Amino acid sequence: MSDVIEDIEIRLLLEALHQRYHYDFRHYAQASVRRRLRQARHQLGFANFSAMQEALLHDEAMLPRLLGYLTVQVSEMFRDPSYFRAIREKVVPHLRTYPSLKVWIAGCSGGEELYSYAILFREEGLEERTLFYATDISQDALETAGRGIYALDRIARFTENHRASGGKSSLSDYYTTAYGAAAFDKSLRERVVFSDHSLVTDAVFAEMQLISCRNVMIYFDRMLQDRAIGLFKDSLVRGGFLGLGSKESIRFSGHAGAFGDFVRAEKIYQRRDP
């Protein structure tokens, strides 16, 4: 198959996904989308992307299978511990001044970052006044996050990250183990709202004090990155905080002027007054 024909088929497949199911990947970084779709085509046994498109249009069972490839994200608890240490030491003192808090974890994937925040906020005495919104476009990811169960061989890394982030307790206080897995305490989810939300097509969440969207926008093209940052700007209270991934930035966004650097090294920004 020539690259030209493959590009046409991929564009038509993404258009079909958008028109049929309202999932819009047309402005995701094309190299990443192409790589993931090639993997899906190979593993699902399609001869070409046109055959995959036909199956997607006529068999709704194809949707979650395809989304599983397009939305794969590798994460871990307290990923980039220095980021969470900065949240703990620099951002939390500001958050203490609010009588109630709303925190949005955008692109929560399997929930590792959500539980990181829930544990951090419990250790800092903020959990009881906080409502967490955990959103993703993948229903499978939301269900995984809602279960809070992770393979036991991942826990050593989670524990190391938690300690390096300035954790004030043992991570083992928050989970039980059985059958080769660690199940995190249900109480960590009591103040969590799980919701299907797309940064591509959906509207803002209003009045957030903290938004964390890390390692999501690296898959977006420039136009979509700008849209997402605009959503975050409109969803934050004045003085609220935005945390991005280590390879992400608001520097080239048309909304950059609405933010100031708060912890530059960790990509933590603060919403300025208009």
Q: Does residue 23 fall inside a structural domain? A: yes
Same domain, 45 and 162: no
Give the model's pLDDT for residue 104: 97
Count other Cβ atoms within 10 Å, centred on residue 117: 26
End-to-end Cα, the chain, rounded Å: 52
Tell me, yes or no, whether 155 and 174 share the same domain.
yes
Q: Which of 70, 99, 116 is the last residue of a domain?
A: 70
Same domain, 216 and 165: yes
Same domain, 180 and 264: yes
- The least confident of 27-41, 166-180, 224-238 is 27-41
Rounded CA-CA distance 18/164 in Å is: 42
C-beta of residue 172 within 8 angstroms of C-beta of residue 159: yes
Length in residues, the chain: 274
Q: What are phi and psi of 259, to 5 degrees?
A: -125, 150
In a domain, 199, yes or no: yes
Reply yes or no on whether the pLDDT at 221 is more than 70: yes
Last-in-domain residue among 48, 70, 92? 70
pLDDT of residue 198: 83
Taking residues 216-242, report their average pLDDT. 91
Quick one: pLDDT at residue 140? 85
Query: Of the candidates 157, 185, 158, 187, which has an alpha carbon nearest to the alpha carbon of residue 173?
Result: 185
Residue 76 lies inside a defined structural domain of this protein: no
What are the start-end ranges of the E strands in the chain?
A: 101-106, 130-136, 149-151, 175-178, 181-184, 192-196, 208-213, 236-244, 259-263, 268-271
Structural domain count of the chain: 2
57 and 107 share one domain: no
DSSP-derived letter for residue 201 is: T
- Using CB atoms within 10 A of its CB, is residue 137 exposed (0-12), middle (13-18) or buried (19+)? buried
Residue 206 has pLDDT above 90, yes or no: no
Domain extent for 23: 4-70
Tokens of 49: 């992307």
Between 194 and 2, where is the model more confident? 194
Residues 43 and 109 both lie in one domain:
no
Together in a domain, 111 and 29: no
Q: Is the pTM of this model over 0.95?
A: no
CATH code assigned at 225: 3.40.50.150
Percent share of the chain, pLDDT over 90: 73
Q: Which of 16, 51, 70 is the endpoint of a domain?
A: 70
Say whether both 99 and 123 belong to one domain.
yes
Q: What is the pLDDT of residue 70?
A: 85
Are 115 and 186 found together in one domain? yes
Do 33 and 86 fall within a single domain?
no
Residues 255 and 211 in one domain: yes
* 55 and 92, same domain (yes or no): no
Greatest mean pLDDT among 16-30, 67-81, 170-184 lies in: 170-184
Find out whether 225 and 217 touch, Cβ atoms under 8 Å. yes
Asked whether 49 and 9 are in contact (CB, 8 A), the reply is yes
Going across the sheet that includes 101-106, the strands are 192-196, 130-136, 101-106, 208-213, 236-244, 268-271, 259-263
